[in-house]
Amino acid sequence: MKAFFQSLLGSLTAFIILGVISLVAFFALIGAIATMSDQQIVDVKAGSVLVFDLNTTIKDAPPMTTVDAALQEALGGGSYSATYLLKVLDAIDRAKTDEDISALLLHGNLLQDGYGSGLAAISEIRNALIDFQSSGKPIYAYLIDPSQKDYYLASVADEIWINPFGMISLNGLATNGPFLGNTFEKYGIGVQTTRVGEYKSAVEIFTRTGMSAPDREQKTVLLNDLWQTLLAEISVARAIDPQEAVQLSNSSAFFTAEDALAAKLADKAGYLDELIEHLVATYDYSKADESFQQVDLVDYANARGFEMDTFMIDVSDQERIAVVYAEGEIIDGGYYPDYVGGDWLAYELRRLRKDEDVKAVVLRVNSPGGSAMASEIIQRETRLLAAQKPLVVSMGSYAASGGYWISAYADKIYAQPYTITGSIGVFGLIFNIQEAAEGFAVNFDGVKTSPFADIYTVTRPRSESEMTLIQKFTDEIYDAFIDKVAEGRSIDAVQVREIAQGRVWSGLSAKGLSLIDEIGGLDTAINDAVKLSELSELTIEQIPAPSTFADTLEMLLAEAGAAPVAKISSPLNRIATELEGLNRQLRALNDPRSVYTRMPYGLEGL
């Protein structure tokens, strides 16, 4: 027995020593990662070509550095790249007049994570590239197998090179998604819905096996609107007749390098080393890189972008413009990455309203909507803020339903042609697991004091009287939505009802319907806010602010058990991504009254 306890004590001691060593090594590794993950300031040499690597997700809001991304980068496995729109726009704008920058090179394929890299944001970057060309500096693009979004962006280049084995796609836009009506029925999950608006189709994925006629109509009109605009812009850039572009898309859709050259979609076919040789011959040579003199766009932004100015001073005591990002689904509660927490955003807007040094606010909305209660909490603060100082809304790729709700009272609303907005409608969504539980021989029973005391239970379906009550306050919220849009936009309520009904519109259509004021991007909205505020010098505070890995160490424990998400494109990974997207949508359904203002599902990939 004594030998047993000696052995046990020895084992425990070894485990304790091993644990202490592991803990010390762990924190040493975390410290090393934090150091390695800090922004590296590069020396921008004269004659440099600005290299814009598109293998990134371009968010609207500054992305948060996650633990798995920092680990991957620190251990030499590359990095999951993400940057944000304002940083890219600012870098391109500064490079336009920077004597050290001679040209710009685009290459790679855009990544889309969450609501990043949407068509509206890419359109803003494309316009910035066109403005860059006004300086006389050329843009080169190197393509291998670009998506339509990649090609749309690259189409402005002075020279488009395509890999001899590459292919350009112009096959059109499509949207499709799962319908879970049979799925929930098969597994005994009951779904009951209320809604107002003929086109308010977000509930349909939970109740139907396919699209309804109104949903098919609105999505067909929307996609055709976006596609015609996209083809028209490509046609102008490539000096192709618009009708010819339509014909090319309808008849061929996919273009090999040879076909792309014949159709004037590209200028040269060549391998990357051949393009590099061309750039070496045209621009300065770098001995260190054994290539042309170059600087990565993100490195350039870190060295000479507006963030450097911001980090050098404490903006909290400066007269400034605040740029607030509402990116992701609107949920009830506080701050959570990739969602718009109603309480969190309302707090930030309230803080900015009370700060006398904040002279104007730009609210950047990139959201399909979500919780009606959270949207109203946010909108209350936008109304109060707009009564005291200028409030300008810049709509990103999505500003629909709840995303429109929080925008309605701005002094001015800007959107891009590719913005998906409107969707002024409301729906209620209630699940129950009674039948599923019975399949496992589980029954529920209880008592209550009043007829509606357990109206929100998931253990049984709602009665007819309960559904009548839920429909009643669904109708009331819809009426309030109409009234708020009418008041905020100074439109007659009858007219709002005609264009509402839950229908989604493109930015171009929204302008004609007076749902927005002007076509323009984030930079246009910021410039307008500066004019309205009468500031002589621009200083920007961003909310949430750009962060480093050190700022996100507090998330370590929360993420420690999570497996890194593979970013490699494959059929299995695409399936996993679709399922994760559905899981994200279900998690966002947390309105305390189960009533939502959200645009139709299935449009988020545009």
Q: Which helix (H) or strand (E) holds 505?
A: strand 504-506
Per residue in 17-60, pLDDT tens?
Answer: 555 555 444 545 555 444 444 556 788 999 999 999 999 999 99
Point out the least confidently predicted range of 169-183, 416-430, 578-592.
578-592
**pLDDT band, residue 595 (cuts 50/70/90):** confident
Residue in the block written with tokens 């988020």:
604
CB 401 within 8 A of CB 425: yes
What pLDDT, on the 0 to 100 scale, is given for residue 63? 84
Residue range 430-454: mean pLDDT, rounded? 89
Whether cis (ω within 30° of 0) applies to the bond prior to 368 is no
Lowest mean pLDDT among 58-72, 367-381, 416-430: 58-72
pLDDT digits (tens, 9 = 90+) for 446-475: 899 998 998 888 889 999 999 999 999 899
**Measured between alpha carbons, how far is 94 from 87 in angstroms, rounded to an integer?**
11
Measured in whole angstroms, the distance separating CA 460 from the mean position of its chain's CA atoms is 37
Predicted confidence at residue 412, as pLDDT, reads 98
Q: Tell me the percentage of the chain whose pLDDT exceeds 70.
A: 82
So what's the pLDDT on residue 499? Answer: 95
How confident is residue 551, by pLDDT bands cut at 50, 70 and 90?
low
Q: What is the pLDDT of residue 568?
A: 42
Statement: residue 563 has pLDDT above 80: no
User: Which stretch of 434-438, 504-508, 532-536, 543-547 has the lowest confidence by average pLDDT?
Assistant: 543-547
Cα 256 to Cα 520: distance, rounded to the nearest angstrom: 35
507: tokens are: 């930015």
| Cα four-point dihedral sign 585, 505, 236, 129 | negative
Residue that has been written with the tokens 């605009």 in this structure: 229
pLDDT of residue 193: 92
Q: Mean pLDDT in the chain? A: 86
Residue 530 has pLDDT above 80, yes or no: yes
pLDDT, mean of residues 254-283:
96
Q: CA-to-CA distance for 492 and 484, rounded, in angstroms?
A: 11
- Sketch out the chain's domains with CATH numbers: 48-170+252-304 (3.90.226.10), 313-424+486-598 (3.90.226.10)
Exposed / middle / buried, residue 320 (Cβ in 10 Å: 0-12, 13-18, 19+): buried
- pLDDT of 8 over the 80 cut: no
Residue 31 CB contacts under 8 Å (≥ 6 apart), including other chains: none
Dihedral sign, Cα of residue 579, residue 582, residue 583, residue 584: positive
**β-sheet bridge partners, residue 428:** 194, 595
* Active site (catalytic) residues: 200, 401
Asked if residue 106 has pLDDT above 50, the reply is yes
